[in-house]
Amino acid sequence: MQMDREYFRTVRAGLGAAALLILAACQTPSDRTADSRRIRDSDSAAPYQAEVEEGLGAAVAILVDTSGSMNDDAPGDSRPKFVVAREALEAMLEATDAFVAKRPEFPIKIGIYTFSSGVSTVLPVQRYSHELVRSAMARLPHPGGGTAIGEAMRTARPELYRAGVFRKYLLVVTDGDNTAGRDPGEVARDIFRKSEGAVQIYFVAFDTSPEKFAFLKDVGGNVIGAGNGRELRAALNEIYQGKILAEAVDVGEREPRGR
Q: Nearest-5° angle of CA 61, CA 63, CA 68?
A: 170
Tell me what the mean pLDDT of segment 127-148 comes to. Answer: 94
Taking residue 75's Cβ as centre, other Cβ atoms within 10 Å add up to 14
**What would the pLDDT profile of 13-70 be if each residue is shown by its tens digit?**
444 444 444 444 554 544 444 444 433 433 467 888 888 888 889 999 999 999 999 9
Residue 109 parent element (H or E): strand 108-115
pTM for the full predicted model: 0.79
The number of residues making up the chain comes to 259
Tell me what the mean pLDDT of segment 116-120 comes to. Answer: 94
What residues are paired with 115 via a beta bridge? Answer: 65, 119
Residue 205 parent element (H or E): strand 199-206
- pLDDT over threshold 60, residue 253: no
Q: Distance (Å, rounded) from C-alpha 236 to C-alpha 244? A: 11
Maximum separation of any 2 CA atoms in the chain, in Å: 97
Q: Bigger pLDDT: 23 or 198?
A: 198
Within 125-223, residue ranges assigned H as helices are: 130-138, 149-160, 184-195
What residues are paired with 226 via a beta bridge? Answer: 206
Report yes or no: 208 and 184 within 8 Å, Cβ to Cβ. no
> pLDDT value at position 153?
96
